[in-house]
């Protein structure tokens, strides 16, 4: 098994018993963690599973008391309070997500607790979602549906509801890790011209060559891209970076896609940019807050395609995430390096 392909066959990870020859105790904080992951944990350990959906913090804190490991199934804050509730015997934690913006990583690190997460196995599913949003926004799928619903289908025109072409376009990425590269791979099949990317570190020359990609600064990426795809983690540095100033630098024909975290975008500024046609359209899988209330002004925009954070939501991907998270936890308990360590 590797972190790239979650193989659900029997793993080689063998968990040693603790000193007292008792089984390690693991809390799974979400009742819907796929069985494939639970099966791995129950082979050698005692597993406690929280019962509430959506998760109830009090239940998680109560049940985590005295456990050796946590499989953190939801996006609840994983902070000092949660670590204190578990107690000093806690030896390993894994989330079941790629993004870990809800984890106080510094605090986990300070306590020297190995922390894992589940990137890579969701690259394909999230990239599919990104391409879907890009096409839907560029070709006005949501607006088209609204036209039909409101009896405004204007037959007979040649220039009605024209969208943006993907072929020969320049695609800009904010963040160019595994998910972004998987999106670029898919888009190369749409005959795009080139990729511009903004990251802290340059990717390898081989990767640049493969995707005809060039590292540029943020402003250049914004001003020269026909499509701008946000694929970066949410950090202090990236929070709200897509604001009025950024939208002002983008082409009027540009399409924005966000499959990362809602907090990277200043949503009020995005609303204005779409409402005033400063940019052409946007497709968001992530927003602030989640769930977005049904009366949010964003829902009134015809040039905005919205999805309720479905990026990694396929059966296979969820199962893969559970398997990787389970292996992370088991390896942490065994004192071995995790499959995908978060730090």
Ligand X SMILES: O=C(O)[C@H](O)CO
Q: What is the CA radius of gyration of the chain?
A: 22
- Nearest one of 18, 15, 71 to 48, comparing CA atoms: 71
Distance of closest approach, residue 77 Cβ to ligand X, in angstroms = 15
When the beta carbons of 73 and 332 are compared against ligand X, the nearer one is 73
Per the residue annotation, which of 30, 75, 117, 309 is the catalytic one?
309
266 binds ligand X (CB under 6 A): no
Region from 39-47, 63-71, 93-101, 194-202 binding ligand X, contact rule CB under 6 A: 93-101
* Closest to 34 in 3D by CA, of 330, 312, 320: 320
Per-residue x/- mask for ligand X, residues 167 to 196, rule CB under 6 A? ------------------------------
Q: How far is the CB of 329 from ligand X (least distance, A)?
A: 16
Minimum distance from residue 293 beta carbon to ligand X (Å): 20
Alpha helix segments (H runs only) across the chain: 35-42, 57-64, 80-86, 105-110, 123-138, 141-149, 178-188, 205-211, 218-224, 244-249, 267-275, 315-333
**Total site size for ligand X, rule CB under 6 A:** 6
| Of 170, 152, 180, nearest in space to 250 by CA | 170
- Helix 123-138 / helix 141-149 crossing angle, nearest 10 deg: 50
Contact status, residue 182 vs residue 124, Cβ threshold 8 Å: yes
Binders of ligand X among residues 204 to 263 (CB under 6 A) are none
Cis preceding linkage at 289, omega within 30: yes
Question: The sheet that has 25-28: what strands, in order across it?
Answer: 46-49, 25-28, 69-72, 92-95, 115-116
Euclidean distance between CA atoms 223 and 200, whole angstroms = 19
Stretch that binds ligand X, among 96-104, 148-156, 199-207, 275-283 (CB under 6 A): 96-104
User: Closest approach of Cβ 162 to ligand X, in Å?
Assistant: 33
Considering the complex, state which of residue 97 and residue 328 has its C-beta at the smaller distance from ligand X.
97
DSSP designation for 4: S
CB of 222 to ligand X, least distance (A): 24
30 is catalytic: no
Q: How would you label 222-254 residue by residue, b for 16+ Cβ within 10 Å and e otherwise? A: bebbbbbbbbbebeeebeebbeeebbeebbebb
- Find the shortest distance in angstroms from Cβ 309 to ligand X: 6
Q: Which pair of tokens denotes residue 87? A: 């107690």
Site string for ligand X, 104-133 (x = CB under 6 A): ------------------x-----------
Q: Indicate which single residue of 8, 64, 97, 258 sits in contact with ligand X (rule: CB under 6 A).
A: 97
Rule CB under 6 A: say whether 99 interacts with ligand X: yes
Tell me the backbone φ, ψ of residue 252, rounded to 5 degrees.
-65, -25
Which one, 124 or 169, has the nearer CB to ligand X? 124
Residue 225 near residue 172 (C-beta atoms within 8 A): yes
Q: Which stretch binds ligand X (CB under 6 A): 7-15, 95-103, 240-248, 276-284?
A: 95-103
- Per CB under 6 A, 98 contacts ligand X: yes
337 touches 331 (CB < 8 A): yes
253/314 with CB nearer ligand X: 314
Q: Which residues contact 42 (CB under 8 A, 6 or more apart)?
A: none
73-92 binders of ligand X (CB under 6 A) = none
Distance in Å, CB of 129 to ligand X, minimum:
10
> In whole angstroms, what is the distance from residue 78 CA to residue 107 CA?
9
With respect to ligand X, which residue has the nearer C-beta, 37 or 311?
311
User: In this chain, which stretch among 28-36, 97-105, 201-209, 212-220 interacts with ligand X, using CB under 6 A?
Assistant: 97-105
Binding site residues, ligand X, CB under 6 A: 97-99, 122, 311-312
Catalytic amino acids? 309
């Amino acid at each position: 098994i590797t972190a790239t392909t979650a193989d659900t066959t029997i793993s080689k990870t063998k968990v040693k018993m603790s000193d007292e020859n008792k089984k390690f105790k693991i809390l799974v904080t979400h009742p819907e963690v796929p069985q494939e992951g639970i099966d791995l944990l129950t082979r050698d350990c005692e597993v406690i599973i929280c019962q509430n959906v959506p998760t109830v913090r009090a239940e998680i804190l109560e049940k985590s008391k005295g456990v050796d490991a946590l499989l953190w199934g939801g996006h609840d804050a994983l902070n000092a309070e949660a670590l204190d509730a578990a107690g000093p015997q806690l030896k390993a934690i894994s989330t079941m997500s790629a993004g870990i913006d809800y984890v106080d990583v510094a605090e986990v690190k300070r306590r020297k607790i190995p922390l894992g997460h589940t990137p890579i196995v969701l690259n394909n599913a999230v990239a599919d979602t990104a391409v879907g949003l890009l096409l839907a926004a560029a070709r006005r799928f949501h607006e088209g549906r609204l036209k039909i619903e409101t009896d405004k289908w204007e037959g007979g025109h040649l220039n009605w509801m024209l969208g943006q072409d993907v072929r020969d376009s320049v695609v800009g990425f904010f963040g160019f890790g595994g998910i972004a590269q998987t999106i670029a791979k898919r888009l190369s099949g749409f005959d795009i011209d080139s990729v511009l990317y903004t990251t802290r570190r340059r990717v390898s020359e081989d990767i640049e060559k493969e995707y005809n990609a060039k590292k540029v600064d943020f402003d250049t990426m914004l001003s020269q891209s026909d499509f701008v795809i946000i694929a970066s983690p949410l950090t202090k540095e990236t929070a709200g970076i897509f604001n009025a100033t950024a939208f002002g630098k983008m082409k009027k024909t540009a399409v924005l896609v966000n499959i990362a975290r809602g907090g990277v975008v200043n949503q009020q500024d995005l609303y204005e940019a779409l409402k005033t046609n400063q940019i052409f359209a946007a497709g968001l899988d992530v927003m602030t807050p989640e769930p977005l209330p049904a009366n949010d002004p964003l829902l009134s925009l015809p040039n905005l395609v919205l999805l309720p954070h479905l990026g990694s939501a396929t059966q296979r991907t969820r199962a893969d995430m559970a398997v990787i998270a389970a292996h992370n936890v088991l390896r942490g308990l065994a004192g071995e390096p995790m499959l995908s360590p978060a730090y």
